[in-house]
Copies of this chain bind each other. A is one copy, B any other.
């Protein structure tokens, strides 16, 4: 009597056919449910319907797998930001939309998000020499996402390009978004009817930062 564990694609032959993708999907789910520390290779293999040893055909080990999850997360993340930025509206509206996409991604993809923003081990060991055949590295994927944010800002506020430092504005909004997202994920944002939602919080914050930095950019003090 064969056992089923709720994973996808259980009815298969000796070869899985798409094991690498399935493992990453399993990691994404389990990290979302149980956190990084609660994620195990054994669970992932069981969910996929495969022996734990099979994972080593596709990853050098647990660290390398987590790195790949993070890298994919950043790529998907960048894609979401890019889409949010496109479309009409005032510069502030477009930028607010990007911030909302940030929060939505963190909420909807806690597996990716946790992997992306957790300190990883020594990637050099994990990625050579299998990396040559493998996907993107997380640091590069992250840089890509951040560059996109800068680019969006510069396009959205062309008139301020020499007036204020776009990298600064981008960093502020990135940090505020990350702070709100992680506090929310940890259940440490106050809840209640009289208290703003995380989306309202980010909206107000983005507007304040853009206004505030523009103001201090025009009247540089300290």
A residues 29-75 touching B (CB-CB < 8 Å) = 35-37
Mask of A66-109 contacts with B, CB within 8 angstroms, 1/0: 00000000000000000000000000000000000000000000
Question: Are A216 and B204 touching (Cβ within 8 A)?
Answer: yes
Binds B, one of A1-9, A18-26, A126-134, A165-173: A165-173
A179 to B198, CA, bound (A): 14
With A37-B36, A178-B179, A182-B179 given, is the CB distance from A172 to B208 under 8 Å?
Answer: yes
A176 to B59, CA, bound (A): 36
Central interface residue in A187, A190, A208, A213, by most chain B CB within 10 Å: A208
Size of the A side of the interface (Cβ < 8 Å), in residues, is 41
A residues 168-222 touching B (CB-CB < 8 Å) = 168, 171-172, 174-180, 182-183, 185-190, 195-196, 201, 204-205, 207-213, 215-216
A36 to B118, CA, bound (A): 12
With A172-B205, A176-B175, A204-B172 given, is the CB distance from A117 to B36 under 8 Å?
Answer: no
B-contacting residues of A (Cβ < 8 Å)? 35-37, 117-119, 142, 146, 167-168, 171-172, 174-180, 182-183, 185-190, 195-196, 201, 204-205, 207-213, 215-216
Which 3 A-B pairs give the minimum distances between C-beta atoms? A208-B212, A179-B179, A212-B212
